Amino acid sequence: MNHFGVEIGQQPLERSWFNLALKLKLTALALGCPTNKELCARFAAVNPATLFVTQNAYKWLSGKAMPRTSSVYEDWASVLGGSLTAPFLASSSFEEFQQAICARFSVPETVLATLRSEAGLPPLPAAGPVSPSPARAGARQPGEHWLAGTYLAISPAWSRVEAGRLIIGAMRIYADPVQQLQISYSENLFNRPVAMEGQLLSDGRTAQSALTCSYTHRLFFLALNVATPPANLIGGILSGAAVHDPNARAVACRILFLRAHGRSIEDLAARMGYLDADADGIEHELAGLGYRADAARRGLAASIVASLGMHSTSALCEAAPRDFTDIELTLDRLAPA
């Protein structure tokens, strides 16, 4: 019997090891961790003292041993997030575990089929062109995905008038009725709220979204690095065309999303606007989000400003039509008749 009261003797010990290995392999696939080292990093992010280290991971993923302490399963539950519990992770069959994981993460059917074959399970039935069943749709309720929540957005201002300053926005990630992640992002541009919305696609390591602007109907694109649970920070690139610009410059910049624990999107909307690019302003925003007063918070604020490139001339990558005028004219002249 293990720490959770699960009767290991009910099946051969080697089979228990093998079952654990398959569940860990599926975990790695769901989180987008191609190496043991990356999977270990996910565990270390939720518990720096975790026993899920490279040496142990090799034994457990190879089916040569099982964890001897419940803390590993508790860390595992924190990594996966949602309603998955440590006892379930320890005692579930591979099929039960697979159903729970696939309700929360997108797993390629080809690799899932390989793991099911290794587990001695029949192939999954071919997917038909039908809508998700109510049972499937209810398997993961909105807000349970570990990326779901509200975030304060910080990025360099694109406006020529506000050059060198930051712009504060509000972002929300949520699951729609068919359990697809959606993202809504808003900024306050010259006292006018500008909202953008779109679907968020994630493979566990990266996330992308094409956002439609309600004001201009233009598309804006997000390419994000997905943080480990609890995802207090999501960072990446925002690109599109400057809204208030006669030449509609194409612009790209870094953007950071800071999780706003317990704050509603309305609370964050009240914070939207322009901000001087210094540590004082960012530290004030961190305090407003409830991040604890600490000597490290000041350094964190300075790091945020620096990471957005505000101390260099490369905060924005931009291109105006006039930047290509000479090239365009020369190409027109040299183009084949």
Give 125-136 pLDDT, tens digit per residue.
Answer: 554 333 333 333
- In this predicted structure, what is the pLDDT of residue 119? 75
Measure Cα distances from 123 to 99, 100, 107, 119, 127 in Å: 13, 17, 15, 11, 12
What dihedral do alpha carbons 41, 43, 44, 49 form, nearest 10°? -150
Residues 6+ positions from 233 with CB-CB distance below 8 Å: 227, 256, 257, 258, 259
Structure-block tokens of residue 35: 């190496």
Structure-block tokens of residue 54: 């490279």
Residue type for position 211? L
CB atoms closer than 10 angstroms to residue 318: 16
Spatial distance between the Cα atoms of 230 and 236, rounded to a whole number of angstroms: 17
Provide mean pLDDT across the span 134-149.
52
The answer to whether 257 and 234 have CB atoms below 8 angstroms apart is yes
pLDDT at residue 316 greater than cutoff 50: yes
- Residues 197-233: pLDDT tens digits? 999 988 777 899 999 998 888 999 999 998 777 789 9
Question: What is the DSSP secondary structure assignment for residue 234, as one 8-state letter?
Answer: E
Confidence of residue 2 (pLDDT cuts 50, 70, 90): very low
What is the C-alpha R_g of the chain? 24
- Give residue for tokens 């924005």: 316
Structure-block tokens of residue 46: 């939720």
Tell me the pLDDT of the chain averaged across its residues. 84
